Structure 1
Amino acid sequence: MTVRDDIHGQIVAGLKGAKFPINTPEELLSAFPAGADTTCRSGDLAVTAGEAGKLLTPADFPFKDAKQVADTIVERAGL
């Protein structure tokens, strides 16, 4: 599994219980189990939801599902 696939899967899993659509960055962060401190790890890479959220813009919202969130974050992060 690649780092990209690993992080993508962890984001999707972290948002498993989230209610969509998610309309704001605040709603997105609160949807993660530990909020902004939720951490995805793959090898030596570790990224928190708070750090990943900085890659998003207001134009990215609303998100319709967890896959869309994960797709956007891994793409912007260059993974």
Structure 2
Amino acid sequence: MADKEELRTQMKDAFGGADYPINSPMDLVPALPNGPSTKFESGDFSMTAMELNTKLGGGNFPYESADAFVDDVLQQLEEQGHLDDN
């Protein structure tokens, strides 16, 4: 089972260095420690930033902060069944 708070921390660390507001997923790439290959893992959940981009909808760009972006990503993952309810 994935720990949503653990994923939130990993994503905030990875996406936090972007220059906000962001207008597209491409605005995040320079901030990622391993570029699109940056991996987020918790329990049985494992997905790279590139996989996130392909699995999630277009998002609600622009995002004004890392918190807003990460909250939306986690909500979409949960709605699509990629995260177990905790």
**TM-score, normalized by length of structure 1?**
0.83
Count of residues paired in the alignment: 77
Cα 1:33–1:56, aligned 2, differ >3 Å: closer, same or farther?
farther
Q: Which amino acid aligns with 2:29?
A: L
For the pair shown, the structure with the greater C-alpha radius of gyration is 2
Whether 1:39 aligns to 2:39 is yes
Runs of 4 or more consecutive aligned structure 1 residues displaced over 4 Å after TM superposition: none
Q: Is the Cα–Cα contact under 8 Å of residues 18 and 27 in structure 2 kept in the other structure?
A: no
Whole-Å Cα distance in 1 between the matches of residues 17 and 53 of structure 2? 18
Q: SS in structure 2 opposite 1:47?
A: strand
Indicate the RMSD between aligned Cα atoms, in angstroms.
1.6
Whole-Å Cα distance in 1 between the matches of residues 23 and 66 of structure 2? 13
Identity %: 31
Whole-Å Cα distance in 1 between the matches of residues 32 and 46 of structure 2? 16
Q: SS in structure 2 opposite 1:60?
A: coil
Q: Is the Cα–Cα contact under 8 Å of residues 41 and 47 in structure 2 kept in the other structure?
A: yes
Matched with 2:50 is 50
Q: Unaligned 5+ residue runs, structure 1?
A: none
**TM-score, normalized by length of structure 2?**
0.77
